[in-house]
């Protein structure tokens, strides 16, 4: 924050205090899903001001971090992902992919049917790819909760590129077969694609058990 040299110390401290209150209001709505009209019970900010604070906070976070966290991995990132994957026993892995249902508490009642799926509550779906150190380098958010992992996959920009053969270039060989695209760890609901590796559901042999445990 830039402080006006002509202003008094009391004014500057007041500005900092007000800014902290506004950030607290935005964080409370985001973290605890508190509605705007009850914010004044905690931080003494009116409903309309709380909504403005939330919108400005979100826009500011996007403006500051978008270029760093919303970009696809560059060549250096790919090398790091592959190197770490190999150290952990998964050579040429690019990450783990899965979907989660984000419960939508204060949804418009007229939209309820579109957003209710197997969770039995209105949700929004987040598809994400994360690396071993929880770097989420792909996120696809906002689809209706009535979808599942499969129809999300059909709409995912990541796998739209994969279906066209557009993917980070890697070269490796497994059991005599050459591959030029990395792979992702998934759960059992995903289709049988060469870029998706699932666990072994009922492992019997030791090497299968070790793979499933990893």
Q: Provide the residue ranges of all domains of the chain, joining segments of one domain with +.
A: 9-69, 75-213
Please state the pTM of the whole predicted model. 0.69
Model confidence at 65: pLDDT above 70: yes
Burial of 213 (0-12, 13-18, 19+ CB in 10 A): exposed
d(Cα 152, Cα 154) in Å, to the nearest integer? 5
Report the pLDDT averaged over residues 78-97. 88
Report the pLDDT averaged over residues 12-20. 68
SS3 content of the chain, % helix, strand, coil (to 5): 45, 20, 35
Contact indicator for 24, 16 with CB cutoff of 8 Å = no
Residue 1 confidence class, pLDDT cut points 50, 70, 90: very low
Residue 63 confidence class, pLDDT cut points 50, 70, 90: very high
Percentage of residues in the chain having pLDDT higher than 70: 91
pLDDT at res. 110: 87
What separation, in Å, do the N-terminal and C-terminal C-alpha atoms of the chain show? 46
- Long-range contact pairs involving 204-210 (C-beta distance under 8 Å, separation at least 24): none
Run of H or E including 197: strand 196-198
List 150's β-bridge partners, or say none.
none
């Amino acid at each position: 924050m830039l402080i006006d040299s002509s202003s008094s110390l009391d004014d500057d401290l007041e500005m900092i205090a007000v800014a902290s209150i506004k950030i607290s209001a935005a964080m409370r709505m985001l973290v605890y899903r508190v509605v705007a009209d009850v914010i004044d019970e905690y931080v003494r900010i009116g409903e309309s001001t709380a909504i403005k604070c939330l919108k400005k906070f979100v826009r500011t976070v996007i403006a500051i971090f978008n270029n760093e966290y919303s970009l696809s991995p560059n060549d250096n990132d790919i090398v790091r992902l592959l190197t770490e994957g190999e150290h952990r026993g998964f050579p040429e892995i690019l990450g783990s992919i899965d979907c989660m249902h984000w419960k939508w508490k204060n949804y418009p009642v007229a939209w309820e049917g579109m957003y209710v799926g197997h969770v039995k509550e209105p949700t929004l779906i987040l598809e994400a790819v994360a690396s071993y150190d929880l770097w989420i380098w792909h996120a696809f958010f906002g689809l209706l909760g009535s979808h599942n992992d499969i129809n999300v996959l059909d709409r995912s920009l990541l796998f739209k590129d994969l279906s066209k053969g557009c993917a980070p270039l890697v070269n490796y060989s497994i059991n005599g077969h050459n591959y030029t695209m990395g792979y992702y760890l998934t759960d059992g609901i995903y289709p049988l694609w060469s870029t998706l590796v699932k666990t072994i559901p009922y492992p019997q042999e030791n090497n299968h058990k070790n793979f499933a445990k990893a």
